[in-house]
Amino acid sequence: MRQGWNSKNPVFRQLFTSRFIPGGSSEQLEWFNELCRKTMSGETGALLMSARGEVDVRDILPSLRTPTLVLHASDDQVIPSAAGRRLALEIPGATFVQLESRNHVLLEHEPAWRQFQQAVIEFTGAPAAKASDAGEKLQALTRREREMLALLCEGSSNAQIAWTLGIAEKTVRNHISHLYRKLGVHSRAAAIVLAYEHGLHPEPQQRA
């Protein structure tokens, strides 16, 4: 890692990338390779790898009293799912959720990402709107608000939404804040889950 991490040739970092997101597209793999290089030096990476290899907290797991949620991809290429199950079994009262994926870093297009969002929202105790109330709120959205929600469901950033709809990024932020208030949610994840639960994730209109 000390020798190969900082190299412009991504072949060494590709070893990590191919295990973290084996289901990624060529663009996503290239992005992850570059992200690795920009966010950590080879020296820091070597120190972290060494430290993680020496840490063992199994003895203290039964003494934990903090509510715990363990989420693990079923075919994780970095850490076996059995390790996640063992962790959840040894922490009193822990909840284990298996995500149907082989990616350690979930990708926005796969169903496991929405499963992950829903599990986190439920675990944190976010109030769930009644189905009838939520449905009425969704049906009351304007055409522009539906377009905005569809783009949020696609994982688009504010800048990408602005480009797609041909409006200013500041306008996007204002629209999203209004959308959250209208839906009675406080985050992008909650809005996305609400949309998928009620089958409202239309295709946004693309900019000509």
Residue 2 tokens read as 């000390």
pLDDT digits (tens, 9 = 90+) for 147-171: 888 888 888 888 888 898 888 888 8
**Residue spans per domain, the chain:** 11-54, 58-123, 131-197
Give the pLDDT confidence of 79-103 residue by residue, as tens digits: 999 999 999 999 999 999 999 999 9
CA 65 to chain centre: 26
- With respect to CATH, is domain 131-197 assigned 1.10.10.10? yes
Q: Three-class SS of residue 98? A: strand
* Single pTM value for the model: 0.58
Task: Report angle CA 88, 92, 93 to the nearest 5 degrees.
Answer: 80
How many CB atoms within 10 Å of residue 165?
20
